[in-house]
Structure 1
């Protein structure tokens, strides 16, 4: 991956997805994993309280924009040259 624009576009799509997933968890009224099992094995996280599930979503909603800012800084060369990524020049 040599073009910074392509890298930034992929990173932006991933960060938007993480933000929307965090929003989904933040707005949940119950734990989505409680009582669920995969091949007879209970899903981990089924015992989390509603507050912890919402906190998990809030953490994702906070981390996604911060990671996008980090990726932007990498792509524009603000943190120095990165081997293998051609920086974006305005």
Structure 2
């Protein structure tokens, strides 16, 4: 199983790092690394986290880490990381805007 990050997910991780770096640059690097590691671990048990009811037809799943949410989809032998965002954000409108 291979894990791939969409351009949106990569941009999300960069924004998260930039936000944390305002207060603690060292922690920004380590926290983004932790998020990436959690994404990569999805390859061990890709269907181990629940489908997002609103996007179940598209196969979108969600796992949390700290106060962040990792949205992903399993496609054959690939896991696509779609977005990584703070759980306090309005993720429903941001995940797949109309």
RCO higher in 1 or 2 (8 Å CA, sep ≥ 6)?
Answer: 1
Larger radius of gyration: 1
TM-score by length of 2: 0.37
Greater helix fraction, Structure 1 or Structure 2? 1
TM-score by length of 1: 0.39
Greater strand fraction, Structure 1 or Structure 2? 2
